[in-house]
């Protein structure tokens, strides 16, 4: 039996949280906005349902928020260390960066949220 890819590699390549092989999104292009949220119903490798219930990915908003805060902190630190405190320049630069990264943030938030939920569900199942 082949060894599963690492957790970090699987998240970075947007793979199924169960088998870590199946692709989470139908179109690999982040910036094709027509198909940005298009996911197969099930993993082609292990048949894990990617959308277990209606509204499942509402929780991914919290992950997206955390990613955006992290990006903003990194942007702030870089700008502060290079140029010092520049309020309006930071706000404008940060807004441009966050807007440009919305497709990546959207997909990675869904991926990480699915990994988190699957980890909690697998740990909470009683053993027979």
pLDDT in tens, 36-75: 989 999 999 999 999 888 889 999 999 999 999 999 999 9
**Cα–Cα distance between 17 and 111 in angstroms, integer?**
8
Q: pTM for the whole thing? A: 0.86
The residue written with tokens 């039996």 in the block is 1
Average of per-residue pLDDT across 106-117? 94
Q: Would you call 15 helix, strand, or coil by DSSP?
A: strand
Mean pLDDT of the chain: 90
């Amino acid at each position: 039996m082949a060894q599963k890819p690492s957790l970090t590699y699987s998240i970075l390549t947007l793979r199924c949280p169960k088998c870590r092989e199946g692709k989470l999104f139908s179109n690999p292009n982040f910036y094709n906005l027509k198909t940005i949220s298009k996911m197969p119903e099930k993993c082609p490798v292990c048949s894990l349902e990617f959308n277990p219930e209606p509204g499942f990915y509402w929780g991914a908003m919290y992950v997206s928020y955390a990613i955006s805060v992290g990006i903003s902190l990194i942007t702030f630190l870089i700008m502060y260390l290079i140029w010092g405190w520049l309020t309006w320049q930071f706000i404008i630069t940060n807004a441009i960066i966050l807007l440009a990264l919305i497709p990546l943030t959207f997909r990675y938030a869904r991926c990480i949220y699915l990994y988190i939920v699957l980890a909690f569900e697998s740990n909470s199942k009683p053993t027979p």
